[in-house]
């Protein structure tokens, strides 16, 4: 019998292994039964995965409305899972989870007992839960979850059957030297931390001061630019700016020696995307850390939603938990952001995404379109297809996109010549190695990776080709067709995963190779009904005042 204790779930998938016998899988029913009672029973559904000579492999699914009730489904071992055949006889479940409360119990891979020193750290987080599932038979339990503060168990994920040791693994210098950049970054963070403590002792927080910072750009732009312009109308607000000299590189005088002072003395710290330094320091209670986030909506997992995944955060990372407020485009994505940032859902507010104001401002859209047409005159009078994939790899070491193996420039060139089409290729700004497009292919396939704002390119695009990039949300505002070139879907799901099923999420055709892409490009009319539904789902405010709403919120924080 499968018994789980003291674990809270929003939704979950469990892989169960049952010995193959006379019962066919469709004849097996599952239910959660409250021990000692026949009244409270929760039926659950089962999906067949596969069967071999010895076992049947099934996946059961269940959803609990914890947002409304905060039910402890397996509290104190009161609930257990039963499998029965059509005759009502119990069927033994071979593979299960151990009792996490039992002392000296061997902990299955992927499950970690909550240590005493972690209790205080998690005490401020009442309830943050994610998913529990298996990818396939060869994987162990894969969990991404932050436990309830009263729980005795903290679950994390597990990639490809790799266990997690309780013992602190000995750090060997020869391993660290494989990534020397990490060593320099840690030294830089320590330097920032020490200076911050000094400034915190010497200076008070300036209540009208707002700091704008980010590691993903070298100067203010995007969401921060929009909010800053709105705050400029209020003269009592004093703004400060600190950005790295190079993206993801904190090694500059201003970053190392000015940022600590600004962090220690600013009432509100506004960050867009990632900023490692803000995770490293202990703020005063009156300080507010606001995350604007660079993307709209949410479908690929990030932050703490990737606990246990490859390149995911450390179990003990403070990371995004420092945010006091985060702004999103709609109520639908609030639980995803709360989970990813490790903050309570009531700290995630759907005021809109500041930089998306442009998509609902016709005058700005026309100005942006004319700007791009002047800078890239080759697109004038032609059908424009924007190819904008997201990156692969690890942000802490190296990111990439296998352009040459995935995109055939010769085929794109031939299609462009035959169909009066120009392809604009925009890689993620984190990708340092830009594609080399040889002549004459570069006449029809133009590399626009140095364009910092992809939004400008979206305006001129008649069709978007992407994969798992968040630009899909922005482009949906135009209600134009999209194609999803997901050549590595299974691998990406395994390593990165999504908050929603990818096939159900996409408002366009999914293609897996160049032949399918070219065929999809040739479809004369595409169904835009799903695009409109997608837009309405992820954009609660379809106006150009998100930056104004956010600026007013930040202004109130400075006055508090």
Give the CATH number, domain containing residue 415: 3.40.50.12580
Question: What mean pLDDT comes out for the span 511-530?
Answer: 90
For the cut 70, the answer to whether the pLDDT of residue 272 exceeds it is yes
For the cut 90, the answer to whether the pLDDT of residue 424 exceeds it is yes
For the cut 50, the answer to whether the pLDDT of residue 129 exceeds it is no
Question: Which range has the worst mean pLDDT, 31-40, 354-363, 503-512?
Answer: 31-40
- Among residues 191, 193, 215, 343, which one has the least CA distance to residue 275? 215
**432 lies in the same domain as 549:** no
For residue 222, tell me if it sits in a domain. Answer: yes
Q: What is the pLDDT of residue 146?
A: 34
Question: What mean pLDDT comes out for the span 93-119?
Answer: 34
Angle ∠(505,470,293) on CA atoms, nearest 5: 125
For the cut 70, the answer to whether the pLDDT of residue 134 exceeds it is no
For residue 163, tell me if it sits in a domain. Answer: no
**221 lies in the same domain as 123:** no
For residue 509, tell me if it sits in a domain. Answer: yes
For the cut 80, the answer to whether the pLDDT of residue 54 exceeds it is no
**121 lies in the same domain as 237:** no
d(CA 415, CA 487): 20
Q: What is the DSSP string of 178-198?
A: TSHHHHHHHHHHHHHHHHHHH
| 8 Å CB contact between 468 and 300 | yes
d(CA 23, CA 82): 15
**192 lies in the same domain as 300:** yes
Alpha carbon distances (Å) from 476 to 359, 459, 481, 482, 487: 10, 11, 8, 8, 22
Say which DSSP state 303 is in: G
Helical segments of 342-499, H only: 362-375, 403-406, 409-419, 454-460, 471-476, 489-495
Q: Which domain holds residue 528?
A: 362-538
Q: What is the pLDDT of residue 107?
A: 29
For residue 292, tell me if it sits in a domain. Answer: yes
**81 lies in the same domain as 144:** yes
**189 lies in the same domain as 258:** yes
**324 lies in the same domain as 367:** no
**Residue 16 or 451, more confident:** 451
Instruction: Determine the length of the chain.
Output: 560
Question: What mean pLDDT comes out for the span 531-543?
Answer: 94
Question: Which range has the worst mean pLDDT, 76-85, 141-150, 450-459, 528-537?
Answer: 141-150
- Among residues 425, 437, 429, which one has the least CA distance to residue 399? 429
Question: What mean pLDDT comes out for the span 316-344?
Answer: 86
Beta bridge partners of 19: 55
Q: What is the pLDDT of residues 188-202, one digit of tens each?
A: 889 999 999 999 999
For residue 136, tell me if it sits in a domain. Answer: yes
Q: What is the pLDDT of residue 112?
A: 30
Q: What is the pLDDT of residue 496?
A: 74
Output the average pLDDT for the chain.
Answer: 74
Question: What mean pLDDT comes out for the span 336-359?
Answer: 89
For residue 302, tell me if it sits in a domain. Answer: yes
For the cut 70, the answer to whether the pLDDT of residue 99 exceeds it is no
Q: Phi then psi for 140, rounded to 5 degrees?
A: -85, 180
Structural domain count of the chain: 3
For the cut 90, the answer to whether the pLDDT of residue 508 exceeds it is yes
Say which DSSP state 498 is in: B
Percentage of the chain beyond pLDDT 90 is: 44
**338 lies in the same domain as 398:** no
For residue 5, tell me if it sits in a domain. Answer: no
**553 lies in the same domain as 484:** no
Question: What mean pLDDT comes out for the span 287-316?
Answer: 78
Beta bridge partners of 384: 422
d(CA 398, CA 392): 9
**Residue 313 or 40, more confident:** 313
For residue 506, tell me if it sits in a domain. Answer: yes
**331 lies in the same domain as 212:** yes
Residue ending a domain, among 125, 155, 185, is 155
For the cut 80, the answer to whether the pLDDT of residue 22 exceeds it is no
- Among residues 224, 156, 178, 144, which one has the least CA distance to residue 394? 178
- If DSSP codes are grouped into helix, strand and coil, which group holds residue 245? coil
Whole-model pTM over 0.85: no
Beta bridge partners of 211: 240, 269
Exposed, middle or buried by CB within 10 Å (0-12, 13-18, 19+), for 382? middle
For the cut 80, the answer to whether the pLDDT of residue 544 exceeds it is yes
d(CA 1, CA 340): 33
CATH number at residue 304: 3.40.50.11820
**418 lies in the same domain as 515:** yes
Alpha carbon distances (Å) from 337 to 119, 152, 235, 300: 23, 25, 32, 11
**376 lies in the same domain as 321:** no
d(CA 27, CA 87): 9
- Cβ neighbours, 10 Å, residue 284: 11
Enumerate residues 6+ apart whose C-beta is below 8 A from 544.
357, 358, 360, 361, 364
In this structure, the strands spanning 29-34 and 41-51 are antiparallel
């Amino acid at each position: 019998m499968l018994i789980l204790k003291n674990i809270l779930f929003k939704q979950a998938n469990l892989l169960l292994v049952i010995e193959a016998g006379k019962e066919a899988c469709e004849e097996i029913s599952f239910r959660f039964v409250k021990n000692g009672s026949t009244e409270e029973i929760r039926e659950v559904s089962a999906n067949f995965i596969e069967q071999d000579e010895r076992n049947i492999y099934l996946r059961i699914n269940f959803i609990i409305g914890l947002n409304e009730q905060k039910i402890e489904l397996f509290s104190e071992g009161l609930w257990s899972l039963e499998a029965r055949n059509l005759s009502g006889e119990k069927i033994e479940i071979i593979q299960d989870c151990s009792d996490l409360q039992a002392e000296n119990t061997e902990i299955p891979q992927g499950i970690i007992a909550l240590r005493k020193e972690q209790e205080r750290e998690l005490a401020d987080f009442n309830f943050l839960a994610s998913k529990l599932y298996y990818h396939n038979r060869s994987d162990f339990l894969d969990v991404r979850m932050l436990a309830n503060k009263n729980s005795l168990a903290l679950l994390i994920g597990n990639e490809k059957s790799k266990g997690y040791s309780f013992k602190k693994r000995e750090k060997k210098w020869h391993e660290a030297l494989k990534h020397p950049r990490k060593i320099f970054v840690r030294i830089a963070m320590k330097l920032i931390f020490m200076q911050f403590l000094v400034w915190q002792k010497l200076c008070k927080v300036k209540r009208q001061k707002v700091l704008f910072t980010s590691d993903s750009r070298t100067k203010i732009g995007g969401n921060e630019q929009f909010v800053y312009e709105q705050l400029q109308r209020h003269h009592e607000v004093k703004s400060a700016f600190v950005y790295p000299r190079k993206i993801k590189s904190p090694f500059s005088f201003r970053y190392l020696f000015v940022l600590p002072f600004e962090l220690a003395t600013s009432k509100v710290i506004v960050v867009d995307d990632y900023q490692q330094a803000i995770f490293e320091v202990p703020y005063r209670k009156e300080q507010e850390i606001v995350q604007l986030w660079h993307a709209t909506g949410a479908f690929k997992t990030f932050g703490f939603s990737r606990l246990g995944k490859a390149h995911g955060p450390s179990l003990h990372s403070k990371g995004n938990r420092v945010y006091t407020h985060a702004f999103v485009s709609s109520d639908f994505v609030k639980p995803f952001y709360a989970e990813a940032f490790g903050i309570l859902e009531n700290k995630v507010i759907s005021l809109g995404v500041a930089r998306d104001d442009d998509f609902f401002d016709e005058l700005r859209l026309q100005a942006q379109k004319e700007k791009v047409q002047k800078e890239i005159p080759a697109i004038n009078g032609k059908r424009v297809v924007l190819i904008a994939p997201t990156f692969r790899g690890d942000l802490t070491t190296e990111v990439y996109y296998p352009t040459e193996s995935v995109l055939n420039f010769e085929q794109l060139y031939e299609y462009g010549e035959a169909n009066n089409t120009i392809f604009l290729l925009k890689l993620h700004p984190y990708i340092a190695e830009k594609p080399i497009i040889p002549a004459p292919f570069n006449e029809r396939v133009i590399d626009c990776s140095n364009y910092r704002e992809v939004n400008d390119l979206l305006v001129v695009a008649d069709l978007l080709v992407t994969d798992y990039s968040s630009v899909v949300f922005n482009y949906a505002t135009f209600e134009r067709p999209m194609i999803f070139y997901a050549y590595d879907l299974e691998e990406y799901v395994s390593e990165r995963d999504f908050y929603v099923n990818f096939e159900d999420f996409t408002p366009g055709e999914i293609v897996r190779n160049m032949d399918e892409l070219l065929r999809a490009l040739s479809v004369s009319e595409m169904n835009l009904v799903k695009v409109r539904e997608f837009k309405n789902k992820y954009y609660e405010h379809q106006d150009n005042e998100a930056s104004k709403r956010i600026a007013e919120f930040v202004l109130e924080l400075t006055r508090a």
